[in-house]
A and B are shown apart, each in its own frame.
Chain A
């Protein structure tokens, strides 16, 4: 499957040190209307931290507002900032 690798910069950043995905938190993933956040899993499949998987962000903020530990920062997508 010859799809190219095009690099992109994603607007949403997670502070791994604060994220408690390992305790079962998926709040940011749950609330995102565009469904672009995911939980990174460790080698054993256990949750580690959240990250932005798809660069399709409406810069709307629920992920940041609802994160219980303040781990999420929403920046504006470069193309429009």
Chain B
């Protein structure tokens, strides 16, 4: 295994789904059910059985809109406010309307949601306005149950192929180029429609631990989705709205304040006092977190040691089984006992992820990107604060619409020269016999991301970042060296990470205002609604560098009153969707 083999295979399908994590499997299932004759391929860099953010399960739905507990109007309003108004509400509203149906479907798949002693959904109240958190007591079964459905539906699954570039022709999508991560063989997939669900760009900033894979996101999500969309000419929205998370320090996993919240736990400063105004995991909340640390009131902690033994035991049971099951090991290793000690938290490195913020490949309410026949869903598409249920629901939208799209089209012609060029690019590091290993290219890029792009953002620093990135890119393109196909995969990831770093810098420089709290805190600029109450759309310019445009925010379908906006700014009581 891992030797570098030569070879290219070409296959055809109706719908190619890239990324079999959360959104991808749902897209595949929906497409196949709607049109059983369609040839659907689900392709993943890892193994669909255990890939993606939910590989070990999840401990709850953060944003379920369940009749009787919350309404689509209310949800749409809160998401709009939490994202400082820059939201195309149609997509959010459609999600809110249809996600309950998806919950019921997931339930039928055997994914279990918390029910009370009468078998009714046990939605947790985090705040007094809307109620969105639905715990999953056996959350570790999510991926198994999904995989079972894929097998039953006889979806064609291709594992261990990494997509590297999209193919376009005739002004629409034509397919994708993929590389086997264990043999370096090429696979060209011609497809009438392509759904991208490659997850977040989780390896953008460098974790404080210095361990390249010590990320919040599943470390196999290294940003190829963003890079591929960019090179294909799709628009990417609001990339300057970074993902930054409040995490357990060093472990870099979620503290799960929302699991502990309904049971009485909370985020506190060193004095054991609450300090966060904003309940929502948002840029505003991260700004407050940052201010507390800067103001000398840190460290910041997750506080549980005021709770009764029975409650702590219950919290422990949930937190140490699913999602990041090594969390228990971590606390044991450090002798942290929730009963006695508070759990130190910190501010994570940056990433791109709409699951937790609002940036990503631009899509409409049907998950369509700006390229015909190309869809995006989940953490990489720009529907804000999607989380897991958003990935499932929007993945469903993508699969359903793709089936309609392929009805009237045949394969688009593409230029074989594009495939040759990609082969040359991909294999370049295998043609050298000495050079820089991909991990050092990656490390250096990500360290510069931390040095220059971690907010607060300063213009001069970001410009320096661009210069440094250019130098490292040059080294990467001329000197990167790999010994086997596994390292080749890492080299391709390094290149996607570089693309994301470039986009992060360019997008941040373009929006000359501050918005979304810490996510886009540009110290030289105030918030400027007059000029910047809009999306920013980044595309690949004719010079091969990022180009920018403004795009108006669609008319709201749920009006936000002036005083509601004020309510949020001054007292911030309206936000209630849980974090993480």
Question: Do A and B touch, yes or no (CB under 8 Å, in the complex)?
Answer: yes
Chain A residues in the interface with B (C-beta under 8 A)? 1-3, 30-35, 38, 53-54, 56-62, 65-66, 74-77, 79-81
The docked-state distance in angstroms from the alpha carbon of A78 to that of B486 is: 23
The docked-state distance in angstroms from the alpha carbon of A65 to that of B250 is: 23
* 8 Å CB contact of B333 from A3, A62, A66, A76: A76
A to B CB contacts below 8 Å, 11 in the list: A30-B49, A33-B220, A35-B489, A56-B490, A58-B213, A58-B220, A59-B324, A60-B325, A62-B50, A76-B326, A79-B211
Task: Collect the chain B residues with CB atoms within 8 Å of residue A57's CB.
Answer: 213
B214 CB–A CB distance under 8 Å? yes
Using known A-B contacts A2-B434, A54-B486, A62-B50, determine if residue A76 contacts B213 with beta carbons closer than 8 Å.
no
Instruction: Give the distance to chain A from B160, nearest Cβ to Cβ, in Å.
Output: 7
Instruction: Give the distance to chain B from A55, nearest Cβ to Cβ, in Å.
Output: 9
Q: Are A33 and B46 in contact (CB under 8 A)?
A: yes
B555 CB–A CB distance under 8 Å? no
Task: Collect the chain A residues with CB atoms within 8 Å of residue B160's CB.
Answer: 35
Q: Are A80 and B437 in contact (CB under 8 A)?
A: no
The docked-state distance in angstroms from the alpha carbon of A59 to that of B248 is: 15
Q: Are A80 and B211 in contact (CB under 8 A)?
A: yes
> Chain A's interface: helix, strand, loop or mixed, by majority?
loop
Using known A-B contacts A2-B434, A32-B46, A35-B160, determine if residue A56 contacts B181 with beta carbons closer than 8 Å.
no
Task: Collect the chain B residues with CB atoms within 8 Å of residue A1's CB.
Answer: 433-434, 483
Q: Are A77 and B211 in contact (CB under 8 A)?
A: yes
Task: Collect the chain A residues with CB atoms within 8 Å of residue B209's CB.
Answer: 77, 79-80
- Contacting chain A: which of B51-59, B106-114, B129-137, B283-291? B51-59
Q: Are B325 and A61 in contact (CB under 8 A)?
A: yes
Q: Are B220 and A80 in contact (CB under 8 A)?
A: no
Q: Are B1 and A34 in contact (CB under 8 A)?
A: no
Q: Are A62 and B219 in contact (CB under 8 A)?
A: no
B37 CB–A CB distance under 8 Å? no
- Give the number of residues in B that approach A within 8 Å (Cβ atoms): 43
Chain B residues in the interface with A (C-beta under 8 A)? 1-2, 46-47, 49-52, 55-56, 140, 159-160, 181-182, 207, 209-215, 218-220, 250-252, 324-326, 329-330, 333-334, 433-434, 437, 483, 486, 489-490
Q: Are A34 and B220 in contact (CB under 8 A)?
A: yes
The docked-state distance in angstroms from the alpha carbon of A38 to that of B250 is: 27
* 8 Å CB contact of B219 from A31, A53, A58: A58
Task: Collect the chain A residues with CB atoms within 8 Å of residue B219's CB.
Answer: 33-34, 56, 58
Q: Are A60 and B218 in contact (CB under 8 A)?
A: yes
The residue of chain B having its C-beta at the shortest distance from the C-beta of A74 within the complex is: B326
Q: Are A62 and B55 in contact (CB under 8 A)?
A: yes
The residue of chain A having its C-beta at the shortest distance from the C-beta of B49 within the complex is: A31
The docked-state distance in angstroms from the alpha carbon of A53 to that of B218 is: 19
Task: Collect the chain B residues with CB atoms within 8 Å of residue A35's CB.
Answer: 46, 160, 181-182, 220, 486, 489
Task: Collect the chain B residues with CB atoms within 8 Å of residue A56's CB.
Answer: 212-213, 219, 490
Instruction: Give the distance to chain B from A27, nearest Cβ to Cβ, in Å.
Output: 9
The docked-state distance in angstroms from the alpha carbon of A3 to that of B489 is: 19
Task: Collect the chain A residues with CB atoms within 8 Å of residue B159's CB.
Answer: 30
Instruction: Give the distance to chain B from A6, nearest Cβ to Cβ, in Å.
Output: 10
Task: Collect the chain B residues with CB atoms within 8 Å of residue A75's CB.
Answer: 329
Task: Collect the chain A residues with CB atoms within 8 Å of residue B46's CB.
Answer: 32-35
The docked-state distance in angstroms from the alpha carbon of A80 to that of B434 is: 31
Task: Collect the chain A residues with CB atoms within 8 Å of residue B437's CB.
Answer: 3
Q: Are B213 and A31 in contact (CB under 8 A)?
A: no
Task: Collect the chain B residues with CB atoms within 8 Å of residue A60's CB.
Answer: 55-56, 218, 324-326
Q: Are A81 and B330 in contact (CB under 8 A)?
A: yes
Instruction: Give the distance to chain A from B397, nearest Cβ to Cβ, in Å.
Output: 25
The docked-state distance in angstroms from the alpha carbon of A61 to that of B143 is: 13
* 8 Å CB contact of A34 from B213, B252, B325, B483: B213
The residue of chain A having its C-beta at the shortest distance from the C-beta of B487 within the complex is: A54
Q: Are A66 and B207 in contact (CB under 8 A)?
A: no
Task: Collect the chain A residues with CB atoms within 8 Å of residue B51's CB.
Answer: 33
Task: Collect the chain B residues with CB atoms within 8 Å of residue A32's CB.
Answer: 46-47, 50
Instruction: Give the distance to chain A from B213, nearest Cβ to Cβ, in Å.
Output: 5
The docked-state distance in angstroms from the alpha carbon of A74 to that of B218 is: 16
Task: Collect the chain A residues with CB atoms within 8 Å of residue B252's CB.
Answer: 80
In the complex, besides A30-B49, A58-B213, 12 extra interface pairs with C-beta distance below 8 angstroms are A30-B47, A35-B182, A59-B326, A61-B56, A74-B329, A76-B326, A76-B330, A76-B333, A80-B211, A80-B214, A81-B330, A81-B333
Task: Collect the chain A residues with CB atoms within 8 Å of residue B2's CB.
Answer: 38
Instruction: Give the distance to chain A from B216, nearest Cβ to Cβ, in Å.
Output: 10
The residue of chain A having its C-beta at the shortest distance from the C-beta of B334 within the complex is: A81
The docked-state distance in angstroms from the alpha carbon of A54 to that of B51 is: 18
Q: Are A65 and B486 in contact (CB under 8 A)?
A: no
Residue of B207, B251, B329 contacting most chain A CB atoms (<10 Å):
B329
The residue of chain B having its C-beta at the shortest distance from the C-beta of A3 within the complex is: B437
Instruction: Give the distance to chain A from B454, nearest Cβ to Cβ, in Å.
Output: 18
Q: Are A80 and B55 in contact (CB under 8 A)?
A: no
The residue of chain B having its C-beta at the shortest distance from the C-beta of A38 within the complex is: B1
Task: Collect the chain A residues with CB atoms within 8 Å of residue B483's CB.
Answer: 1, 3
Instruction: Give the distance to chain B from A21, nearest Cβ to Cβ, in Å.
Output: 13
Instruction: Give the distance to chain B from A64, nearest Cβ to Cβ, in Å.
Output: 9
Q: Are B326 and A80 in contact (CB under 8 A)?
A: no
The docked-state distance in angstroms from the alpha carbon of A3 to that of B212 is: 20
The docked-state distance in angstroms from the alpha carbon of A57 to that of B219 is: 8
